[in-house]
Structure 1
């Protein structure tokens, strides 16, 4: 029987962990950078909440992403499909990452800018006449979903179903529903891969399906398609919507940005720090006892590196609970660190930059269409994002 406290047991009285996880993380950091906790499914894990300790954990070779290095998590990969980069270690991880790295080079990303700008404008063209919208469902979601599906070659007619499966797997309504979504997505991706192999097109999935030399095994190809499609849009949805939310909640910062668009890149970094779209990194497992900040984690135990907690560590960022787009936010860990640093980070940054600038320019009086205090955040320790973000506006034709 587990003796570690659950997160809900540690949450300060009256606090809502989904709405404000940072109060709990601050409370834990005051006591130390590493804590043993019970996960929602009843297993023990070690929570890393300090910035220095999180950075060290993400690069420590004694922490493995391979679930086979765990004591009691064997065979439990959650609802991941196939064998993917997030759950492998070098040298397999190195080989898998190299196969797609060229698709996310600075040159390839820059070449995608005109298409992403067109997608943003087309979405806004459709939204603006109504004068109000849900920025999550109507804008922040379809933009990165369209981009990643076009990049990999997912037909437009299949994207709604794919989105439903992805959402269920990332934010399960029940174990049964999540398992059913995983099964449906596995079948769909398997069929799509076979179609790309027999009739290749000019897309990334076709290139991976027909690759020679470092050819992917069937499980690796399935895992690659899964992680690129799901991770390629879920986090960016949260980044765009959380960025709009943070700016609307801080009118002085919004005014400063509108007055000086050279602040945009810094604003994106501050959003990443202030409301990390990925709350925690994927599970790591100790292959031997490891010391973090004076706490020894035994071998074969699960470690949860909380990126959102590291981003609010006052030892790294002064006045960390203040949203300041002029801050030097470099050093945040929102995209991870080390060999597992998010390969799509440059694409996510560009998508968010394009999406927010287009939105704010074309909607000069953008405002909440609800009480912002009543907005609902996803009840997840993995990803942090709003379920909906109702806004109103008077559109311009720009």
Structure 2
């Protein structure tokens, strides 16, 4: 008979070092089964799904919904204040609503548009590396000097956000993905919505070649188009997801290379042959998204004898799925020659990351140029001294001190 496990596992009690290295905790939970009632380091009580097969299944389980606005209490996971327009995007929707929103956006977010960005990504990369090379003392924070400004500049240019507003977006984004308080989270959503209402109005009056102008005027064959709230929501999603993933792909990937100097030497020796595979291994080994955005259990859900009660918040643990020995041999070994295909670092199923090709493009250009320009690049602090992004959504460090 299925059981309702009422015992709550405190993740920090299992390991005080959980935030820096959650993998041993996830592995221990996985050995006991696929579903666990846990208390997070932030004090939230929710359910975790672990293991590669269980996570892939959960991503496609219609009983685990993302449609909090229609199916649940959004206050259970987010304090958006009175700014629900910021949440009117496809990541907060189930089919058929999700299908409609994704179709309208995907027609503009095409592989051709992404590939056309490559020359501009190289220009931005080269300019940032020129500034880095001129840094006095040959020391810098690689997140602040490179890993953040590169994708933030790219996504803002793609969408059509003016230069002067990008610092503000960084603060809002940090608050949304890892809130410092419910009040600060609500203020961030309010500020984003207010700014985007004005920006969308300006784009309507004077359209450009950017993605936002295209989305404003995108109409499908049946005459459907994004509503004003949906335009705001999609902008919020694209701006935040469009840079957070790449920032932490670069940061985590470089940390992995620094910790495995033999792999770094091999990559430097043969970037043409190894770089694409190395990026996939970075995504598998220590990807930028630790768990999915929160799902809502629409009914009691039985996972291998453990029942997740209806109304529960559920997280799918991609970080553990990609370290599952049932899927990847010797999963805790970082190996840039590994066939890492099958990882779910960008999710799985209908919510698979629309921006995955852009993240891969940016990582390919950025890592190649960085390693070419700085043959002596090395870490300037140990992992234990780094400041980590709080929460369980984004996996990464706030700073990455380096020297060369």
Q: Could you tell me the TM-score, scaled by structure 1's length? A: 0.93
Retained in 1: the 8 A contact 2:160–2:212? yes
> Is 1:11 equivalent to 2:21 in the alignment?
no
The match for 1:106 among 103, 111, 122 is: 111
Equivalent-residue separation in structure 2 for 1:376 and 1:22 (angstroms): 18
1:176-222 CA deviation, whole Å, 9 max, x = no partner?
Answer: 22222221111111111111112211111112223342211222111
Retained in 2: the 8 A contact 1:165–1:181? yes
Give the C-alpha shift of residue 350 in structure 1. 1.0
The match for 2:239 among 215, 229, 242 is: 229
> Is 1:120 equivalent to 2:130 in the alignment?
no
Equivalent-residue separation in structure 2 for 1:231 and 1:78 (angstroms): 18
Bigger Cα displacement from structure 2, 215-224 vs 204-213: 204-213
Equivalent-residue separation in structure 1 for 2:214 and 2:113 (angstroms): 15
> Is 1:196 equivalent to 2:207 in the alignment?
no
Give the C-alpha shift of residue 42 in structure 1. 5.5
Summarize the alignment of residues 33-112 of structure 1 with structure 2, pairs less than 5 Å apart. 33-39=34-40, 44-68=45-69, 76-79=77-80, 81-112=86-117
The match for 2:186 among 155, 161, 179 is: 179
2:170 matched residue in structure 1: 163
Retained in 2: the 8 A contact 1:140–1:240? yes
Give the C-alpha shift of residue 370 in structure 1. 2.2
> Is 1:369 equivalent to 2:386 in the alignment?
no
Retained in 2: the 8 A contact 1:70–1:302? no
Q: Cα gap change, 1:269/1:387 in structure 2, threshold over 3 Å: closer, same or farther? A: same
* Number of aligned residues: 390
| Partner secondary structure for residue 207 of structure 2 | coil
1:332 matched residue in structure 2: 343
Q: Cα gap change, 1:103/1:255 in structure 2, threshold over 3 Å: closer, same or farther? A: farther
Give the C-alpha shift of residue 388 in structure 1. 0.5
Q: Cα gap change, 1:40/1:218 in structure 2, threshold over 3 Å: closer, same or farther? A: farther
> Structure 1: which 5+ residue stretches go unaligned?
394-398
Retained in 2: the 8 A contact 1:58–1:337? yes
1:396 matched residue in structure 2: none
Give the C-alpha shift of residue 316 in structure 1. 1.0
Equivalent-residue separation in structure 2 for 1:373 and 1:41 (angstroms): 20
The match for 1:313 among 321, 324, 347 is: 324
Please tell me the root mean square deviation across aligned C-alpha atoms, in Å: 2.0
The match for 1:137 among 144, 147, 154 is: 144
The match for 1:268 among 254, 279, 286 is: 279
Q: Cα gap change, 1:381/1:319 in structure 2, threshold over 3 Å: closer, same or farther? A: same
1:280 matched residue in structure 2: 291
Retained in 2: the 8 A contact 1:68–1:75? no
1:38-91 CA deviation, whole Å, 9 max, x = no partner?
Answer: 356655422001110000000122221111566665675444723111110111
Retained in 2: the 8 A contact 1:70–1:300? no
Q: Could you tell me the TM-score, scaled by structure 2's length? A: 0.91
Equivalent-residue separation in structure 2 for 1:70 and 1:38 (angstroms): 24
Give the C-alpha shift of residue 10 in structure 1. 4.3
Equivalent-residue separation in structure 1 for 2:206 and 2:264 (angstroms): 48
Equivalent-residue separation in structure 1 for 2:300 and 2:6 (angstroms): 20
Q: Cα gap change, 1:43/1:239 in structure 2, threshold over 3 Å: closer, same or farther? A: closer
The match for 2:308 among 297, 312, 317 is: 297
Q: Cα gap change, 1:370/1:10 in structure 2, threshold over 3 Å: closer, same or farther? A: closer
Equivalent-residue separation in structure 1 for 2:60 and 2:143 (angstroms): 33
Equivalent-residue separation in structure 2 for 1:38 and 1:372 (angstroms): 25
Equivalent-residue separation in structure 2 for 1:7 and 1:269 (angstroms): 32
Retained in 1: the 8 A contact 2:6–2:37? no
Retained in 1: the 8 A contact 2:41–2:391? no
> Structure 2: which 5+ residue stretches go unaligned?
none
Equivalent-residue separation in structure 1 for 2:241 and 2:327 (angstroms): 27
Retained in 2: the 8 A contact 1:287–1:299? yes
